[in-house]
Chains A and B, each alone.
Chain A
Amino acid sequence: MQITANSATSGTSAIPKERMRRSMLVVEKMTNTSERRNQEHMESTSRPLADAHPKIVIQDMNFFYGKVQALTKVNMPIPANQVTAFIGPSGCGKSTLLRCLNRLNDLVDGTRIEGKILLEGNDIYDPGVDVTDLRTRVGMVFQKVNPFPKSIWQNVAYGPQLRNVKKRATLDDLVEKSLQGAGLWEEVKDRLHGSALGLSGGQQQRLCIARALAVNPDVLLMDEPCSALDPISTGRIEELLYTLKEQLTVVIVTHNMQQAARVSDLTGFFLLGELIEYDDTKTIFTNPSDRRTEDYITGRFG
């Protein structure tokens, strides 16, 4: 899928029917997981770094908040259909980097980026890029759960509606499939028109995931999605990632190292704005190459 320049001025764009149809197919496939596909996927993730086709490539990236350099010379290929985790102590730049991937940092005054971030080969900072379209393709879920103060149904349908999906039947279908994709359907199917604020924290977060899924993203960014959640909710969302990554690429920032160890295929360790080490998760947690990585992993600092 190419990012194309948008001719409309308002920032909302009409989604072609073809794309919406495809989005439903994708969400549908996402929810029809079978043991066999899990198995195939597990086999295919045994060598993530070398063979996988990179979805995102971060090239020679420097990032500045005004005069302060927050990220230095970051080079990272992020493979498709894998979970990549960013770990590191507070202030190391991992959340900043995550927010660069869908240009959310554009909303902060005085920020400046050097280098390139390529999504499927195209630089997302190209002047011709439609940022709203980018943020549809690269969705995000935040640490602080933020459902809209509307019904569950309205939360999920909001994105598609903004993109001119009008037919009720289509929206109902999309809502159901997105909620299934987020592992929430069974719990809310009988109260879709109840307020989203009546859900538990873990359910609200899964609602936010469903909301992101409803607009058919290629990439899902997650900024410490489970920090505010209890262990069971956390476990549910972690379990979800195994199925989500079959259709999407996931990038997760977490200060919980054990979570990175459990869910990710690749892990990048950041320190003071630099990417210190980036390797498959098993290597990082059993035999890291850099002493600083090892010190962090073993809890000796940070």
Chain B
Amino acid sequence: MPIHRRFDEELADLKQQILRMGSLVEGQIRQALKALVDRDDILATQVIKNDRQVNTMDVAVDEACLELLALQQPAARDLRFITTAMKISTELERMSDLAENICERAIELHKEPQLKPYIDIPLMADRAIKMVGEALDAFVRGDSALARRVLGEDDYIDDLNEQIFRELLSFMMENPQTISRAIRLSFISKYIERIADHATNVAELVVYMVEGKIIRHMISP
């Protein structure tokens, strides 16, 4: 007779909750970029509204984890899994907030003509979304090698953000009329860079969950 079957089911359920939340958040980021590139205010408004759903899921995950901690006295791997799930939920909620911010800036941008073709920003976003997906995959599979690879991709994003900023700076210096749009775009670039940062946080948490080593805030893990 299996022991603690109900506990195992509840752990599996928690994992599913995180996955559903992650899927929702990935969708939010994708939609936000689409709203920007397609200059679609309706879509942008929808993404902003959907943020509420992510917040609700964040609270639900917190409550589920609290209940598991209080009632089941988890130890070792189970304990790390539950505390990691709580933190990942927070990271995901922040990512969704950033997607919301992208949409707010997009709506403002659409009041003026498009400054330039969007090439680097969607490229950056694609990379960031890929990092989010891989970090969540690593969480589901308990794959700390994959998680560590995600950490390595952050440099590319940082470089791209820097490049975008320089380009926008040169626009602004040449023509003051562009300042408003350039600043909003640089914010968007920053938001995407922050999304990638949160993805690396998730990856670091996964390494902790699997290996029991805290590698956050270390220079070379």
Contact = CB atoms under 8 A, between A and B. Distances in A.
Task: Give chain B's interface secondary structure class.
Answer: helix
B3 interface: yes
Interface stretch (A119-127, A142-150, A234-242): A234-242
Interface stretch (A9-17, A221-229, A281-289): A281-289
Contact of B67 (A240, A258, A286): A286
A281 B72 CA distance: 12
B2 interface: yes
Interface in A266-302: 281-282, 285-286
Interface residues of B, number: 13
B70 interface: yes
B5 interface: yes
A77 to B, nearest CB: 22
Contacts, number: 36
Contact of A183 (B1, B72, B73): B1
A282 B73 CA distance: 13
A286 B73 contact: no
Nearest to A284: B70
Contacts of A242: 5-6
Task: Give chain A's interface secondary structure class.
Answer: helix
A290 B66 CA distance: 20
A232 B66 contact: no
Interface in B1-56: 1-7
Contact of B5 (A232, A239, A258): A239
B73 A236 contact: no
A17 to B, nearest CB: 33
Contacts of A129: none
A282 B70 contact: yes
A61 interface: no
Interface string A172-189: 000000000001000000
A261 B72 contact: yes
A262 B1 contact: no
B72 A282 contact: no
A236 B3 CA distance: 6
Interface residues of A, number: 16
Given A258-B73, A261-B73, A239 B67 contact: no
B2 A262 contact: no
Contact of B3 (A239, A261, A281): A239
B1 A239 contact: yes
B70 A261 contact: yes
Contacts of B3: 232, 235-236, 238-239
Interface string A228-253: 00001001101110100000000000
A267 B71 CA distance: 12
A238 B67 CA distance: 18
B32 to A, nearest CB: 36
A236 B1 contact: yes
Contacts of A286: 66-67, 70
Nearest to B7: A262
Nearest to B69: A286
Nearest to A285: B70
Interface string A41-85: 010000000000000000000000000000000000000000000
A281 B1 contact: no
Nearest to A257: B73
B67 A282 contact: yes
Nearest to A231: B3
A240 B6 CA distance: 11
Nearest to B66: A286
B14 to A, nearest CB: 15
Given A282-B67, A282-B71, 9 more contacts: A42-B6, A236-B1, A238-B4, A239-B4, A240-B1, A258-B73, A281-B71, A285-B70, A286-B70
Interface of B: 1-7, 66-67, 70-73
30 contacts: A42-B6, A183-B1, A232-B3, A235-B3, A235-B4, A236-B3, A238-B3, A238-B4, A239-B1, A239-B3, A239-B4, A239-B5, A239-B6, A240-B1, A242-B6, A258-B73, A261-B70, A261-B72, A261-B73, A262-B7, A262-B71, A262-B72, A262-B73, A281-B71, A282-B70, A282-B71, A285-B70, A285-B71, A286-B66, A286-B70
Interface of A: 42, 183, 232, 235-236, 238-240, 242, 258, 261-262, 281-282, 285-286
